[in-house]
Amino acid sequence: MAEKAAHASADLCQRLRAAALRPTRQRLVLAELLFARGHRHVTAEALHAEATRAGIGVSLATVYNTLHQFTAAGILRQVAVDATRTYFDTNVDAHQHFYVEDSSMLIDIPGDSIAVSGLPQPPKGTRIDRVDVVVRISKA
Amino acid sequence: MAEKAAHASADLCQRLRAAALRPTRQRLVLAELLFARGHRHVTAEALHAEATRAGIGVSLATVYNTLHQFTAAGILRQVAVDATRTYFDTNVDAHQHFYVEDSSMLIDIPGDSIAVSGLPQPPKGTRIDRVDVVVRISKA
DNA sequence: AATCTTCTTTAGAATTATTCTAAACTGTTG
DNA sequence: CAACAGTTTAGAATAATTCTAAAGAAGATT
Ligand SMILES: [Mn+2]
Ligand SMILES: [Mn+2]
Ligand SMILES: [Zn+2]
Ligand SMILES: [Zn+2]
């Protein structure tokens, strides 16, 4: 298990270097929190609270910087569901979301389950970057 | 055309009364700007600027209040595409959007052109409120 | 290892979008 | 025309995010 952690860390170093980002203590810690197990959806504030709780000193500005750098590097993506917060998603593969309005939680919908058909031609001179589907749900 | 305007105004009064909203000068002016011709996508700031430009005195707080009241009344809806602004849509029928990332513009996609299939069952105890599709496009 | 260079972190100020407060004002009803 | 309830608004307050500039850490160079 020490091996596994070491391996994961080494792996993260690679990913950062590949993105031309120096593997600093802060970035490694945040990357660990983000990618250590399974996919996650987080806000900057939530991740900052988590890091702080874990005893790691990292400023909120750095959390924001890091989230944006990771997004630019393609290892995170932003999800727009609620105008008041920005969510970051560690799953960058094509997939969609349930958004639970009561609790402001995101739930993944695997990329191969939903199919969107009948898309009209995008306006002349533009290309489609991504098709986002948000299924808004609330307590029945 | 004086008739048409009068008719439209009378119509707006009805809609407001139906929503238990007093037809005040401010609300009528904003409703006019919003619903007078065709469907629109606006932000609070943009609508406020428009009202001000048209020589109508209406505070930004009132614009926000009104947009939210109209949304609660079901004659407007919010569209979440960009975490930095909230867009309000005068088209409340089921339909979808292109979002032009370069210019932050929304373009309607008629409700009957796109079909979403393969939606998984929503989590136990929840029901689907709406399925939003945003097709993000940018300069080719 | 010491040095140099460049990138990174950060505290705190600043910005932006939005909401709140409380007092003045207006539409409605009897 | 009261009288009441609903509405508007200036300005303060909040919340999320970004900016600034100075101090700190990484990587390259000697
Ligand atoms: Mn906000
Ligand atoms: Mn914001
Ligand atoms: Zn996801
Ligand atoms: Zn629309």
Q: Which of A25, A73, A68 is nearest to A44 (CA)?
A: A68
Exposure on the CB side of residue A40, measured as CA atoms within 13 A: 16
The C1' atom of D23 and the CA atom of A59 lie apart, in whole Å, by 15
Q: Residue A7: what pLDDT?
A: 57
Helix-strand-coil percent breakdown of chain B, rounded to 5? 35, 25, 40
Q: What are the extents of the domains in chain A?
A: 41-137
Q: Which of B39, B28, B23 is nearest to B5 (CA)?
A: B28
Q: Residue B7: what pLDDT?
A: 56
Tell the CATH topology of B41-137.
Arc Repressor Mutant, subunit A (1.10.10)
Reply yes or no on whether the pLDDT at B4 is more than 50. no
Reply yes or no on whether the pLDDT at A57 is more than 90. no
Report the length, in residues, of chain B: 140
Whose C1' is closest to the CA of B59: which nucleotide? D9
| Widest distance between CA atoms in chain B | 55
Q: Is the CB of A52 under 7 A from strand D?
A: no
Q: Residue A99: what pLDDT?
A: 96
Taking only Cα atoms into account, the Rg of chain B, rounded to an integer number of angstroms, comes to 17
Cβ burial, residue B115 (10 Å; 0-12/13-18/19+): exposed
Rounded to two decimals, the pTM is 0.90
β B96-100/B126-139 pair status: parallel
Q: Is the CB of A30 under 7 A from strand D?
A: no
Q: Residue B65: what pLDDT?
A: 98
Reply yes or no on whether the pLDDT at B124 is more than 80. yes
Taking only Cα atoms into account, the Rg of chain A, rounded to an integer number of angstroms, comes to 17
Look up residue B31 and give its amino acid.
A
Tens of pLDDT, residue by residue over A80-133, are 999 899 999 999 999 999 999 999 999 999 999 999 999 999 999 999 999 999
CA of B123 to the centre of ligand 3 (A): 16
